[in-house]
Amino acid sequence: MDRETRKKKSQQVAAEEPQAAPEAPESEAPIPEAVVEINQLKDQLEVERKKSQENLDGWQRERADFSNYKKRIERDQVLLTSNLKFELIKKYLAVQDDLERALKNRPTEGEGAKWSEGIELVSRKLKTILEAEGIKAIEAEGQMFDPTLHEAITSEESPDHESGQVIEVLQQGYMLGDRVLRPALVRVAR
């Protein structure tokens, strides 16, 4: 076989072989519908997750706000109750002061002596009730003046007291716990 015959035969064989279709680049390859649907579902799932997280965050904020609201209302109630209690106790303290003044000038003989014993019993009962509520008298006489506990009415020279010492209590002061209900009215040495 000569050269030319071989060349022709080779061309015939090549013509008879099925030719493969030229490969399309990947970006142009058709995407199956299932893959498209999966991608859409993934996108939708991500959107729903974000919405769910936003709802959870909002719910948690509202829960915290409600908890803070409850605490604020409870604090306000305690403060209101405390203030009402203070105001009521202050009124009873005025009655106690009047009873103590009456007892300082009580008669010792006759019909008035019996009445003064009754007033003393009432005074002791009121004092017991106040103590049961946690009210205690402020110690002032002979103490050094403390502006948080005492209110100075006058200051005087006193050879028996050092400067700043309380000479006399004019009106008893009272405390409820750590809070001053009423400061003691005092005379102070200069």
Kindly tell me if the per-residue pLDDT of 28 is higher than 70.
no
Q: How confident is the model at residue 126 (pLDDT cuts 50, 70, 90)?
A: very high
- pLDDT score for 86: 87
Name the CATH topology of 135-190. Answer: Nucleotide Exchange Factor Grpe; Chain A, domain 2 (2.30.22)
The average pLDDT across 147-172 equals 91
pLDDT digits 0-9 by tens, 99-120: 988 888 888 888 888 888 888 9
The CA–CA distances, whole Å, from 47 to 6, 36, 40, 44, 82 equal: 67, 17, 11, 5, 52
Distance in angstroms (rounded) separating the CA atoms of residues 139 and 165: 12
- pLDDT score for 110: 80
Enumerate long-range contacts of 137-145, CB under 8 Å, 24 or more apart. Answer: 137/172, 137/173, 137/174, 138/172, 138/173, 138/174, 138/175, 138/180, 138/183, 138/184, 140/166, 140/169, 140/172, 140/173, 140/184, 140/186, 141/166, 141/167, 141/168, 141/169, 141/186, 142/166, 145/186, 145/188
pLDDT digits 0-9 by tens, 54-94: 999 999 999 999 999 999 999 999 999 988 988 899 899 99
The average pLDDT across 28-35 equals 78
Distance in angstroms (rounded) separating the CA atoms of residues 88 and 93: 9
Higher pLDDT, 81 or 31: 81
Residue 107: half-sphere exposure toward Cβ, Cα within 13 Å: 7
- pLDDT score for 21: 47
- pLDDT score for 3: 61
The average pLDDT across 156-164 equals 89
Domain ranges of the chain: 46-133, 135-190
Sheet holding 179-182, edge to edge: 135-137, 174-176, 179-182
Kindly tell me if the per-residue pLDDT of 45 is higher than 70.
yes
Q: How far is CA 44 from the centre of its chain?
A: 43
- pLDDT score for 20: 46
The whole-chain average pLDDT of the chain stands at: 86
